[in-house]
């Protein structure tokens, strides 16, 4: 593990340094306090019925209608409108979906008629990657804009694939933390997209020798990306563009899909084109960032476009794969300022065999750039399989500057990941006719909730700017490192994952 | 209520759950075909079938006692014997929907059994490990086939809490290597708090007030109560500090390391507000961190402050598990702490962001051997008591933590499960816990009585104590302190058999 070990061996020194740093920062702040960014979240309840995890089984035929019915005692009032709802012809029994699973009624019913079961409809949601849990939490965040909070400790597996095999660090005693979430300290989540100069040079008049390249600053390190494996209706893309505009954020849209309806959202739109994109394309005059699919002549296309649009930032879109690091180095050296790496929907690189998770590939790409000392010359956007707020934080730790989300967009709008659309069936939640304002609010809520969670993680680490999180693997712990360092001296060699899965 | 102010006996008494329909692993169905012949009563080794004198029919079957298909092996499976074919046994649907990877249905039910009977369950419930697929759940003891004969009565599970050589403070000893974690007044009910204190008094160990004041009803048990000084300083006064034999600084909590505490407004009832000297109905935040502590030197100032106010008190420092947890532990020792309490990231909480519970700081299994080794290399391992918490669910977890290098453990969730918690995770919402454990709502609090709750915990500690004694006996040890750091007695299922030394 690459850790910031040396500085922590000398807590005093480190503390002293931190003092000086914070002192200088304070005096700067007095001059230019950044405008506080705030996501206007607002409750946006679902249009379709919720799918809860637990359901109560009620064997009514034996009910003796006794006077101390436990249903009246439910502290969550789940059964309150039971009778009314059952009487309605089209009424579904919502209370089944609202059960909070305290088992009180099940354990108290005089005749023991109630039982509990995991809702089969809940279990059938999504797939192996987009699990029912991820889907229902995304719904919650899109509805409320709040951080999912619960009681009791973590109940999941010890470790899992991909991002579940790393933990973020925290501060303790010897390092100051930050309190972002309650607003006592301002933590910035803004990132810049574009090339940053490694140094400035001045001429004899004290003027800059070269104009700094254009930079786009966005307030949250997560943009809306286009979906590769799912065709979403234009209404959804429009909602993403509208949410991006209101958030001051960006939304990647295939240029073929850009119609006149997108006119109001131009500042937020990032057209995605292939290398045949011509400088005359009308969208280039209006947008701040454009993405071009990687190809042999991509740098020539960029050169041509840059000539007529010098203030436009141009990104190259590269697939995550075994050659990513090589390709990123090459493009960066050729002057490409932004590279958007994208994986499949589950966060795996595009390789038929032994495909790696983006967290690994991103670390490789980032380190390759660091070793060549050109990391700041390029901005890395990573997308594919970013499903939860923690994935955003962890992917940035692995070396991305910012991330893009894809499947989370329809899920925030109540998509059940049922796959009907892929087979040409009608969408059960009617995404094609979704109300724009409602959808916009749901997406803003999701980003608001994710940002708050990022603040929690940054605050715990004592980091006040998400830009500083990039590539900070010293503030993360990786499963294989922890196993080797803590358990290696005790238990010896860990078996390979294949051997482990056989014995497990 | 004088009886309730006295320290209860350390004695197991069988005590049933407090709900009408107990939950078991199996569900026993009796159909109308039953002829009430009574054959099942004869056959059942567990007392599932009950027909009191004078009743013409059976009471509902005691599902929770049923051993299920295990009875087939001994030829006493009741459905096989019922002449009317009226009985059916199946896996209970509730069992199938209960629990999670860390706290499996088996662990919840077996903890309930321990609280009921004071002993480890004898059926087919897995009461030693969960199903998280890592850490304690993949670590096993290497028990020798033959061990020196040790008389169970000679085995001691006691540990000392003050091991500093440069210190004149009392050598506080606890009889089991376990004490209770901080749960504040406000987050849990007064009955939960009091029952924990009473059970710990019975077992000569400690419980902790958490950060929320020191209710007066706890004073009769003050010798068994740790009081906490946390970042919000809620309810901390000179007299509460002076009352305690151990004062704990809470720097962080494993379930939400790096984040402050949060008591939702709903739970701030007039009583809670009075105790914490705040306003009723207003949400209370404990900041993170102590804004007066940014270095080990600042921390020492804190420790000195408490030591001045309470000269005989021991100082415990509760920290979470960052990358440099070993440094933090050593720093705490040099600042004068007696107990270093590491709280791993999978620990319990009354309310925490899900993102924090899963992703911040390392699981306790990794932190213990690191800190143990680092303290050893600094030459101070025998002068400090290392306590581990955050995901210690069973007596076996505790024993493994000790073998990895801790002196003892702190538990929290296990006690709540013993009181009937089902881990639904709704401690924080609305009126609080529906089961009356983690709530301050009067009506919900009354779902549990103090004698009942105390006995459940006394039984739980007895069951754990028996398991510790059994583990030590199988290793031929006479004291739990011999087990500390004996990693050679452990194996990890995911590692090659022969460790490289």
B104 vs B137: CA distance, rounded Å: 11
The pair of structure tokens assigned to A304 is 């041509």
Q: How confident is the model at residue A422 (pLDDT cuts 50, 70, 90)?
A: confident
Chain A residues with CB-CB distance to B251 below 8 A: 172-173
Alpha carbon of A55: minimum distance to chain B alpha carbons (Å): 10
Q: Are residues A226 and A334 in the same domain?
A: yes
pLDDT for residue A411: 97
Hey, is the C-beta of A45 within 8 angstroms of any chain B C-beta?
Answer: no
Contact B362 A474 (CB under 8 A): no
Q: pLDDT band at A182, cuts 50/70/90?
A: low
Question: Is 90 exceeded by the pLDDT of residue B365?
Answer: yes
Q: Provide the pLDDT for residue A90.
A: 56
Q: Is the pLDDT of residue A65 over 60?
A: yes
Whether residues A285 and A353 fall in one domain: yes
Q: Which residues of A touch B499 (CB under 8 A)?
A: 490-492
Query: Is the CB of residue A202 less than 8 Å away from at least one CB of chain B?
Result: no
Residue A100 and residue A206 share a domain: no
**Stronger pLDDT, A34 or A60, i.e. the higher one:** A60
Chain B residues close to A110, C-beta within 8 Å: 20
- Most confident range (mean pLDDT) of A380-384, A429-433, B247-251 is A380-384
Predicted local confidence at residue A210, as pLDDT: 85
Residues A196 and A95 in one domain: no
Residues A93 and A229 in one domain: no
- Picking from B17, B102, B298, the nearest residue to A155 by CB comes out as B102
Per-chain mean pLDDT for chain B: 92
Q: Residue A264 belongs to a domain with what CATH number?
A: 3.20.20.70
Residue A27 has pLDDT above 50, yes or no: no
Range of weakest confidence among A30-44, A345-359, A409-423, B68-82: A30-44
> Whose CA is closest to B469, among B399, B389, B387, B388?
B399
* CA B94 to chain CA centroid, nearest Å: 24
Contact B258 A157 (CB under 8 A): no
pLDDT tens string A148-178 = 999 899 999 999 999 999 999 988 776 666 7
| Per-residue pLDDT at A31 exceeds 60 | no
**Would you call A115 an interface residue with chain B, using a CB distance cutoff of 8 Å?**
yes
Task: Please state which of the ranges A1-5, A272-276, B195-199 shows the lowest mean pLDDT.
Answer: A1-5
β-bridge mates for residue B457, sequence order: none
pLDDT at B261: 74
Query: Hey, what are B56's tokens?
Result: 């013409």
Token pair recorded at residue A250: 């960006």
Q: What percent of chain A has pLDDT over 90?
A: 67
Looking at residue B265, its pLDDT comes to 80
- Asked if residue A97 lies in contact with residue A52, where contact means CB atoms within 8 angstroms, the answer is yes
Contact A456 B369 (CB under 8 A): no
Min distance A120 CA to chain B CA atoms (Å): 11
What was the pLDDT predicted at A181?
63
Residue A18, pLDDT score: 41
> CA nearest B458: which of B227, B146, B180?
B180
The beta-carbon neighbor of A170 closest among B355, B361, B487 is: B361
Q: Mark yes or no for CB contact A151/B367 under 8 Å.
A: no
Locate A22 and state its tokens.
Answer: 């914070």
Please tell me which residue of chain B has the smallest CA distance to A481: B366
Average pLDDT, chain A: 88
Smallest Cα distance from B151 to chain A, Å:
30
Whether A115 and B260 lie within 8 Å, measured CB to CB: no
When CB atoms are compared, the residue of A101, A181, A457 closest to B424 is A101
Asked if B357 is an interface residue toward chain A (Cβ–Cβ < 8 A), one would say yes
Domain regions of chain B by residue span:
26-91, 152-492
Query: Is A327 domain-assigned?
Result: yes
Query: Does residue B61 belong to the interface with chain A, where contact is any CB pair within 8 Å?
Result: no
Check pLDDT > 80 for residue A3: no
Q: Say yes or no: B36 contacts chain A, CB-CB below 8 A.
A: no
Class of domain B152-492: alpha beta
Q: Of B271 and B388, which is predicted with more confidence?
A: B388
Is residue A23 domain-resident?
no
B227 forms beta bridges with B247
Does B161 have pLDDT greater than 80? Answer: yes
- Whether A420 and chain B come into contact, CB under 8 Å, resolves to no
Asked whether the beta carbons of residue A150 and residue B428 sit closer than 8 angstroms, the reply is yes
B74 - beta bridge partners? none
The domain in which residue A71 lies consists of 54-123
Give strand pairing partners of B309. Answer: none
pLDDT computed for residue A25 by the predictor: 46
Q: Cβ of A158 and B135 within 8 Å?
A: yes
At A4, list the tokens.
């910031």
Asked whether the predicted pLDDT for residue B496 surpasses 90, the reply is: no
Give the three-class secondary structure for A393: helix
* pLDDT above 90: residue B420: yes
Set of chain A residues whose Cβ sits within 8 Å of the Cβ of B436? none
Average pLDDT over residues B422-432: 85
Sign (positive/negative) of CA torsion A399, A402, A404, A409? positive
The predicted model gives B24-28 an average pLDDT of 93
Q: For the packed helices B450-475 and B105-117, what is the interaxial angle rounded to 10 degrees?
A: 100
Q: Do A389 and B327 touch (CB under 8 A)?
A: no
Q: What is the pLDDT of residue A184?
A: 67
**In a shared domain, residues A187 and A106:** no
Assign B385 to helix, strand or coil.
strand
Q: Do A487 and B296 touch (CB under 8 A)?
A: no
pLDDT tens digit sequence for A212-246: 899 999 999 999 999 988 889 999 999 999 999 99
A503 is a domain residue: no
CA distance A2 to chain B (A): 11
Average pLDDT over residues B74-91: 95
pLDDT at A87: 72
pLDDT band at residue B283 under the 50/70/90 scheme: confident
Highest mean pLDDT, choosing among A33-37, B130-134, B272-276, B438-442: B130-134
Q: Grade residue B281 by pLDDT with cuts at 50, 70 and 90.
A: confident
- pLDDT, position A17: 40
Q: Region B366-386: what's the mean pLDDT?
A: 97
Boundary-marking domain end, from A107, A123, A139 = A123
Say what percent of chain A tops pLDDT 70: 88
Domain count, chain A: 2
Q: Which of A123-137, A200-214, A334-348, A373-387 has the least mean pLDDT?
A: A200-214
The reported pLDDT for the residue numbered A176 is 66
* A342 occurs within a structural domain: yes
Task: For chain A, say whether B295 makes contact (Cβ under 8 Å).
Answer: yes
Nearest CA in chain A to B134: A158
DSSP B395-447: HHHHHHHHHHT-SEEEESHHHHHHTT----S-TTSTT--TTSSS---HHHHTT
Question: What is the C-alpha separation between B187 and B439, in angstroms, rounded?
Answer: 6
**Going along B12-78, which residue ranges are E strands?**
26-30
Q: Which of A123, A152, A182 is the last residue of a domain?
A: A123
Comparing CB atoms, the residue among A115, A167, A393 nearest residue B93 is A115
Q: Please answer yes or no on whether B346 and A147 come within 8 Å at the CB atom.
A: no
Which residue in this structure is represented by tokens 């007392």? B47
Considering only CA atoms, which of B330, B311, B310 is closest in space to residue B319?
B330
pLDDT band at A29 (very low <50, low <70, confident <90, very high): very low
Residue A2: per-residue pLDDT: 41
HEC per residue, A52-81: CCEEEEECHHHCCCCCCCHHHHCCCCCCCC
- Secondary structure string (H, E, C) spanning A332-366: HHCCCCEEEEECCCCCECCCCCCCCEHHHHHHHHH
Q: Tell me which residue in B260, B347, B426 faces A100 most closely, judged by beta carbons.
A: B426
Residue with tokens 């009487």: A87
DSSP B163-184: --SS--S---EESSSEEEPB--
A493 touches chain B (CB under 8 A): yes
CATH-assigned architecture of domain B26-91 = 2-Layer Sandwich (3.30)
Q: Does position B34 have pLDDT exceeding 50, yes or no? A: yes
Cβ–Cβ gap B356/A503 under 8 Å? no
| Nearest CB partner across the interface for A154, out of B259, B287, B346 | B346
- Better pLDDT: A58 or B342: B342
d(CA B144, CA B154): 20
In 3D space, the residue among A362, A378, A370, A335 whose CA is nearest the CA of residue A215 turns out to be A378
CB contacts of A389 in chain B (<8 Å) are 355
Does position A9 have pLDDT exceeding 70, yes or no?
A: no
Question: Residue A10's pLDDT is what?
Answer: 36
CA-nearest residue to B100 within chain A is A155
One domain, residues A456 and A369: yes
Kindly indicate the confidence band of residue A7, based on its pLDDT and cuts at 50, 70 and 90.
very low
- Joined together, the tokens standing for residue A490 give 């005790």
Q: Model confidence at A77, in pLDDT bands (50, 70, 90)?
A: confident
Separation in Å, CA of B158 to nearest CA in chain A: 26
B186–A contact, CB cutoff 8 A: no
- Tell me: pLDDT of A19 over 60: no
Q: Do A503 and B493 touch (CB under 8 A)?
A: yes
Q: What is the rounded average pLDDT of the residues A388-412? A: 97
Q: Give the pLDDT mean for B203-213.
A: 93
pLDDT score for B417: 97
pLDDT exceeds cutoff 70 at A93: no
CA-wise closest residue to B360 among A458, A463, A9: A458
Backbone angles phi, psi at B388, to 5 degrees: -115, 145
**What's the ipTM?**
0.93
- Same domain for A110 and A190: no
Say whether B285 and A474 touch across the interface (CB within 8 A).
no
- pLDDT of amino acid B149: 86
- In order of A151, B135, B395, B491, the CA distances from B392 in angstroms are 17, 11, 8, 18
Residue B292 burial (C-beta neighbours within 10 Å; 0-12, 13-18, 19+): exposed
User: In the A/B pair of chains, how many CB contacts fall below 8 A?
Assistant: 303
- CB within 8 Å of B2: residues ≥ 6 apart: none
B445 contacts chain A (CB < 8 A): no
Q: Are residues A355 and A270 in the same domain?
A: yes
Q: Are residues A286 and A390 in the same domain?
A: yes
């Amino acid at each position: 593990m690459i850790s910031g070990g040396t500085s922590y061996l000398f807590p005093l020194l480190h503390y002293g340094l931190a003092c000086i740093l914070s002192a200088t920062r304070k005096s700067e702040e007095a001059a230019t306090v950044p405008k506080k960014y705030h996501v206007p979240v607002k409750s946006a309840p679902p249009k379709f019925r919720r799918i809860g995890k637990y359901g109560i089984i009620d064997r009514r035929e034996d009910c003796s209608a006794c006077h101390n019915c436990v249903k009246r005692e439910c502290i969550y009032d789940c059964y309150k409108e039971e009778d009314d709802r059952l009487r309605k012809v089209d009424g579904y029994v919502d209370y089944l979906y609202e059960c909070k699973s305290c088992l009180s009624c099940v354990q108290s019913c005089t005749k023991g008629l109630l039982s509990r079961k995991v809702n089969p409809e809940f279990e059938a949601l999504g797939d192996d990657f987009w699990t029912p849990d991820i889907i229902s939490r995304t719904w919650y965040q899109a509805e409320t804009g709040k951080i999912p909070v619960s009681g009791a400790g973590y109940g999941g597996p010890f470790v899992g694939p991909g991002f579940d095999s790393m933990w973020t660090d925290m501060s303790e005693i010897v390092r100051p933390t930050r309190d972002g979430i309650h607003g006592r300290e301002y933590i910035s989540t803004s990132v810049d997209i574009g090339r940053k100069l490694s140094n400035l040079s001045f001429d004899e008049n004290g003027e800059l020798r070269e104009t700094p390249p254009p930079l786009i600053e966005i307030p949250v390190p997560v943009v809306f990306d286009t979906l590769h494996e799912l065709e979403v209706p234009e209404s959804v893309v429009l909602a993403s563009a509208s949410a991006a505009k209101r958030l001051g954020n960006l939304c990647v849209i295939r240029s073929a899909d850009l119609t006149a309806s997108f006119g109001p959202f131009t500042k937020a739109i990032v057209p995605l084109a292939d290398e045949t994109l011509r400088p005359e394309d009308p969208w280039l005059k209006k947008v701040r960032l454009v993405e071009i699919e990687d190809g042999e002549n991509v740098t020539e296309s960029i050169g041509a476009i840059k000539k007529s649009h010098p203030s436009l930032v141009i990104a190259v879109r590269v697939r995550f794969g075994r050659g990513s690091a090589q390709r990123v180095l090459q493009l960066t050296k050729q002057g490409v300022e932004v590279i958007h790496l994208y994986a499949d929907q589950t966060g795996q690189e595009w390789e038929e065999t032994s495909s790696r998770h983006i967290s690994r590939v991103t670390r490789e790409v980032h380190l390759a750039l660091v070793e060549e000392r050109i990391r700041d010359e390029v901005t890395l956007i990573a997308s594919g399989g970013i499903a939860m707020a923690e994935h955003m934080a962890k992917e940035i730790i692995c070396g991305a500057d910012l991330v893009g989300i894809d499947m989370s967009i329809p899920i925030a709008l109540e998509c059940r990941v049922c796959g009907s659309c892929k087979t040409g069936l009608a969408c059960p939640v009617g995404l094609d006719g979704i109300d724009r304002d409602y959808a916009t609010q749901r997406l803003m809520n999701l980003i608001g909730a994710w940002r708050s969670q990022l603040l929690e993680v940054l605050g715990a680490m004592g980091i006040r700017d998400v830009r500083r999180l990039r590539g900070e693997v010293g503030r993360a712990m990786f499963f294989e490192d922890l196993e080797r360092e803590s358990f290696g001296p005790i238990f010896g060699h860990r078996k390979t994952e294949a051997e482990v899965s056989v014995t497990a | 209520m004088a009886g309730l102010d006295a320290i209860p006996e350390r004695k197991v008494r069988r005590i049933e759950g407090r709900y009408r329909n107990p939950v078991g692993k199996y569900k026993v169905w009796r159909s109308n075909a039953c002829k009430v012949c009574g054959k099942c009563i004869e056959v059942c080794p567990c007392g599932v079938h009950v027909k009191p004198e004078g009743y013409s029919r059976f009471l509902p079957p005691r599902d929770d006692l049923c051993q299920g298909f295990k009875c087939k092996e001994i030829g006493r499976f009741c459905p096989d014997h019922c002449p009317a074919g009226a009985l059916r046994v199946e896996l209970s649907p509730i069992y199938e929907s209960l629990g999670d990877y860390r706290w499996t249905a088996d662990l919840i039910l077996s903890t309930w059994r321990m609280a009921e009977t004071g002993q480890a369950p004898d059926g087919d419930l897995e009461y030693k490990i969960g199903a998280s697929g890592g850490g304690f759940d993949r670590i096993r003891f290497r028990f020798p086939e033959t061990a020196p004969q040790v008389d169970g009565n000679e085995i001691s599970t006691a540990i000392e809490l003050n091991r500093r050589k440069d210190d004149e403070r009392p050598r506080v000893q606890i009889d089991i290597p376990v004490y209770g974690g901080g749960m504040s007044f406000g987050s849990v009910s007064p009955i939960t708090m009091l029952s924990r204190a009473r059970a710990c008094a019975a077992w000569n160990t400690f419980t902790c007030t958490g950060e929320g004041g020191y209710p007066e009803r706890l004073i009769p048990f003050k010798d068994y109560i740790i009081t906490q000084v946390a970042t919000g300083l809620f309810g901390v006064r000179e007299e509460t500090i002076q009352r305690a034999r151990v004062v704990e600084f809470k720097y962080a909590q494993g379930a939400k390391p790096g984040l402050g505490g949060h008591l939702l407004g709903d739970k701030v009832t007039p009583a809670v507000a009075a105790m914490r000297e705040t306003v009723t109905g207003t949400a209370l935040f404990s900041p993170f961190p102590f804004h007066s502590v940014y270095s080990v030197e600042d921390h020492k100032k804190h420790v000195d402050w408490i030591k001045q106010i309470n000269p005989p008190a021991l100082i415990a420092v509760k920290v979470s598990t960052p990358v440099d947890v070993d440094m933090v532990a050593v720093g705490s020792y040099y600042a004068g702490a007696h107990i270093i309490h590491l709280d791993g990231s999978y620990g319990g909480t009354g309310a925490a962001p899900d993102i924090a519970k899963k992703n911040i700081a390392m699981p306790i299994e990794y932190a213990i051997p690191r800190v143990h080794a680092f303290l050893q290399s600094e030459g101070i391992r025998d002068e400090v008591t290392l306590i581990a918490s955050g995901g210690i669910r069973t007596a076996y977890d505790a024993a493994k933590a000790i073998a990895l290098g801790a002196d003892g453990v702190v538990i929290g969730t296990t006690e709540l499960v013993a009181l009937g918690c089902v881990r639904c995770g709704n401690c924080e919402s609305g009126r609080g816990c529906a089961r009356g454990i983690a709530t301050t709502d009067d009506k919900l609090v009354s779902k549990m009585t103090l004698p009942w709750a105390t006995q459940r915990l006394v039984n739980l500690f007895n069951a754990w104590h028996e398991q510790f004694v059994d583990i030590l006996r199988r290793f031929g040890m006479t004291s739990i302190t011999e087990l500390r750091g004996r990693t050679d007695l452990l194996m990890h299922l995911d590692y090659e058999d022969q460790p490289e030394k």
